[in-house]
Amino acid sequence: MEEISQEMKRVFQLQQENSLQVGVTSYQMRINKLKRLLEGILRNRDSIKQAIYSDFKKSPEEVDLTEIYPLVSEIRYIIKNLKSWMKPVRVPNSIATLGAHCRITYQPKGVCLIISPWNYPFQLTIGPLINAIAAGNCVFIKPSEYSPNTSKLIKNLLQDVFERQEVAVFEGDQYVAQQLLQLPFNHIYFTGSPVVGKITMAEAAKHLSPVTLELGGKSPVIIDDQADFNDAAEKIIWGKLINAGQTCIAPDYVLLPRNRLQEFISKARDSIIRRYGTLETIPENKDYCRIINLRHFLRIKHIIEEALIQGGKLDFGGIMREEDLYLSPTLIHDPSLSSAMMQEELFGPVLPVLTYEKLSEALEIIRTRPRPLVLYIFSSNEEVIRGILANTHSGDVVVNDVVTHYANIKLPFGGINNSGIGKTHGEYGFKEFSHLRSVMRQGRFNMTKMFYPPYGQRAKKMLEILLK
């Protein structure tokens, strides 16, 4: 362990020494790096699929859709726009700075740390790296130990593309993460749970390192009486069961009118069967992946069992096979609001459904919980939609769909408070890894000199003008 710690310090020093040189690279040099990374991703596409399948049996099509396409899309978008993003921005003067030339420049932060999760182990590691490289930084990466096959592939792929003094990967468990957090990084990007996010932020505070936290939370779905229930059920089930529910932006629970409960349950059940098969055949469906490990499987199993004991009603599924970490799509209505099912982020293929008589009841349930990463709304009533938006807080909002906002890299993505800090994707990711540096160049005419002491009548008159 001591050898690992010493190696981290050695590489950190190399990156510190190299960061100034990397930081002044031109847009074309950064684009060339991103092109090499893109080539590496496409060249290793089959290996990426195999590694992720080995970690939790995800289908190759789902890997293409959720792990590879978002990265390819973002790299190409950044290549197209990076030159304009890097240009200094002219800023108008205030009265007090007349005669000066003011602008904002985007300066790389320096040496950055990326700690990535296991649920989308390739995409959620390489995505922040793309933004960091575009902004001109050196990077340490700590991928998740829970997806070891993908972590190993990431290390090998990045070693082929980057020198270690620019991008370095350190595999390992929480000890490795703890050792990395002792180093004075210029920025830390963490994706994971709010619990570990708080620990990361506390460690970063020791060096006053800025952080980006992509966390989770219980992203709610509100369905109002005027929604298209066929459309809502189909989209919610799709978004819920991607990656067997192990998705930070998955719909976590549904709130709908009490008199529409059975209609929604019926349509959701039909959608599951249409997409994945019956309860007897789903285990053989190659499009339905497994839970990442036994610890997480047992956690979800306990949440389901507790919810049923406390009065929740099982409408579909509930089948759990420990031997191959299979957990069927599961629908449960009316779980206790005090149960773990309604207190913890589920991160599994379990959808709790709650009912309300008045929309205000649904809004109160959302407001009494930590602010979610995403709020999903299904309605055809614009007044209802505006009312929900005005009376809730969330990182992002999607109306009449789920999850797909993540695919638009022109939108900022990120949480609020307990669900995250900072925004990423596209230009927002470039700025997240950049320091917005104000630069003012004083001209020959210096308005400020009029206010140098000793203060006379002219200064007083000018102050009166400024304060009016």
Residues 268 and 365 in one domain: yes
Residues 121 and 144 in one domain: yes
For 305-323, letters b (16+ CB in 10 Å) and e give eebbeeebeebbbbebeee
Question: Contact 419/217 with Cβ under 8 angstroms?
Answer: yes
Q: Which domain holds residue 172?
A: 2-215+418-439
Residues 169 and 227 in one domain: no
Residues 107 and 210 in one domain: yes
CA-closest candidate to residue 388, choices 222, 218, 217: 222
Residues 259 and 193 in one domain: no
Give the separation between CA 87 and CA 78, rounded to whole angstroms. Answer: 14
Give the separation between CA 315 and CA 336, rounded to whole angstroms. Answer: 15
Residue 435 host element (H or E)? strand 434-441
446 occurs within a structural domain = no
Please report the pLDDT score of residue 221 as a whole number: 98
449 occurs within a structural domain = no
Residues 354 and 245 in one domain: yes
DSSP state of 65: I
CA angle 410, 191, 404 (to 5 degrees): 35
Residues 206 and 155 in one domain: yes
Mean pLDDT of the chain: 96
Residues with a catalytic annotation lie at: 214, 248
210 occurs within a structural domain = yes
Residues 48 and 136 in one domain: yes
**pTM exceeds 0.85, yes or no:** yes
Q: Looking at residue 354, which CATH number applies to its domain?
A: 3.40.309.10
450 occurs within a structural domain = no
Residues 396 and 422 in one domain: no
48 occurs within a structural domain = yes
Residues 197 and 258 in one domain: no
Q: Looking at residue 173, which CATH number applies to its domain?
A: 3.40.605.10
Residues 319 and 209 in one domain: no
127 occurs within a structural domain = yes
Residues 316 and 374 in one domain: yes
Give the separation between CA 18 and CA 33, rounded to whole angstroms. Answer: 16
- Residue ranges with strand state E in 244-384: 253-257, 313-316, 320-321, 326-327, 330-333, 350-356, 374-378
Please report the pLDDT score of residue 1 as a whole number: 62
Per-residue pLDDT of the chain (468 residues; tens, 9 = 90+): 677 789 999 999 999 999 999 999 999 999 999 999 999 999 999 999 999 999 999 999 999 999 999 999 999 999 999 999 999 999 998 877 888 999 999 999 999 999 999 999 999 999 999 999 999 999 999 999 999 999 999 999 999 999 999 999 999 999 999 999 999 999 999 999 999 999 999 999 999 999 999 998 899 999 999 999 999 999 999 999 999 999 999 999 999 999 999 999 999 999 999 999 999 999 999 999 999 999 999 999 999 999 999 999 999 999 999 999 999 999 999 999 999 999 999 999 999 999 999 999 999 999 999 999 999 999 999 999 999 999 999 999 999 999 999 999 999 999 999 999 999 999 999 999 999 999 999 988 887 777 788 888 888 888 888 887
CA-closest candidate to residue 395, choices 215, 240, 146: 215
Provide the residue count of the chain: 468
Please report the pLDDT score of residue 443 as a whole number: 86
Give the separation between CA 122 and CA 69, rounded to whole angstroms. Answer: 11
